[in-house]
Amino acid sequence: MENEQRSNAGAPLMPGANLGETATMRAAVQHRYGPPSVLELSKIGVPLPGRGEVLVQVSAASVHPGDYFVMTGEPYMVRLVYGIRRPRHRVPGMDLAGVVAAVGKNVTTLRPGEKVFGWSTAGALAEYACVPARNLVPVPANLSFVDAAAVPTSAMTALQALRKIANVRPGQTVLITGASGGVGSFAVQIARALGAEVTGVCSTRNVDLVRSLGADHVIDYTRTDFTRTGKLYDVILDNVEAQSLTAVRQALTATGTLIPNSGRGGRWFGPLGRIVKARVLSGFTRQLLLPFMSVGKRQDLLTLTEMLLTGQVTPVIDRTYPLDEAADALRYVGAGHTQGKVVMTF
């Protein structure tokens, strides 16, 4: 990325300030799909909040595999949503935390100066971002901006998979692959909060971390294949796709639920092939194979806020990067071995 000094950025906007056409900000910008090197640190205009939107002065923004796929434009199916030839949104990133700088018309739930976190459709990797007010909630008093930014997409994915899709109940046995990753680290804690007996699958270096998150049992996949132990689980949340659907099903009870929250599938369709296969197989077995796409919901973020306040859930931060190292952050996430979340700081 370009080597640009922080002092070159425009002066910070005071909450409630009148935004003029000359206001500028630093942002990670991409004009085409490609590897992390396509990101450039640029100065662009500060966006103005539209009806129902809030302008957030971003303090921290997390990145996850979805951001990497959108940046690269692969699998190609993502371009149907984000732009066929080039990204529709020049500034990547979704999850953020910061301070309300200004509000648009009809926004009555938030005021300038409030600390908030949530998700946007794009644009989080910038000093300011416009976000629908319905996508934001107050930052819990016991969380930093870095911790708060780590929560939205990954934690909501874990919550929806376990509570809504699998309907996890007290006493059930739940196995989570990729238990040390972004979604997995939240899933271990949420499954415990729901009263399940939790088994986490991870590499050797992450065993202690997963155990510290509350897992009752930890399987080191470099030494043990969970599909061959003979142990059966009521629910499996597969965040890795290290084994085939057929192999993973062998570790399910006769009426168990498998949620495949991953899938490579090539440059064109990505996880779509695995999703279709899971749907087809589900019609021929009493087991439930339920791939899903998480959807941002304010009520889920409020539920997570309560869990964060009570200590049932704590974000795991792998490392932080300054904005001018956004390319390095996306490159690290794309490698697929994060311990918890990667967060950009401003």
Domains of the chain, residue spans: 6-151+315-345, 153-289
HEC readout, 147-207: HHHCCHHHHHHHHHHHHHHCCCCCCCEEEEECCCCHHHHHHHHHHHHCCCEEEEEECHHHH
* Token code pair at residue 183: 């979604």
In this prediction, what percent of the chain has a pLDDT beyond 90? 73
* Confidence band, pLDDT 50/70/90 cuts, at residue 9: very low
3.40.50.720, 3.30.450.20, 3.30.70.20, 1.20.58.220: CATH of 153-289: 3.40.50.720
Average pLDDT, the chain: 89
Cα–Cα distance, 309 to 334 (Å, whole number):
31
pLDDT digits (tens, 9 = 90+) for 296-318: 999 999 999 999 999 999 999 99
Q: Average pLDDT, stretch 96-117?
A: 96
Q: What is the dihedral of CA 255, 260, 261, 266, to 10 degrees?
A: -170
Cα–Cα distance, 293 to 295 (Å, whole number):
6
Answer yes or no: is pLDDT of 13 > 60.
Answer: no
Residue 7 has what pLDDT?
Answer: 32
Start-to-end C-alpha separation, the chain: 16
The residues that bridge with 98 in the sheet, in sequence order, are: 58, 116
Q: Quick count: other Cβ atoms within 10 Å of Cβ 34?
A: 13
Cα–Cα distance, 253 to 233 (Å, whole number):
6
Checking 4-11 for CB contacts under 8 A at 24+ apart, the result is 4/41, 4/43, 4/324, 6/324, 8/43, 9/43, 9/127, 10/43, 10/46
* Token code pair at residue 190: 């949420």
Residue 10 has what pLDDT?
Answer: 38
Give CA separation, 285 vs 252, 258, 273, 282, 328, in Å.
12, 12, 19, 6, 44
The residues that bridge with 235 in the sheet, in sequence order, are: 174, 257
Stated length of the chain: 346
Q: Quick count: other Cβ atoms within 10 Å of Cβ 273?
A: 15
69 against 61, higher pLDDT: 61
The residues that bridge with 320 in the sheet, in sequence order, are: 343
CATH architecture of 6-151+315-345: Alpha-Beta Complex (3.90)
Pair 154, 237: CB distance under 8 Å: no
pLDDT digits (tens, 9 = 90+) for 183-220: 999 999 999 999 999 999 999 999 999 999 999 999 99
Q: What is the dihedral of CA 318, 322, 324, 325, to 10 degrees?
A: -20
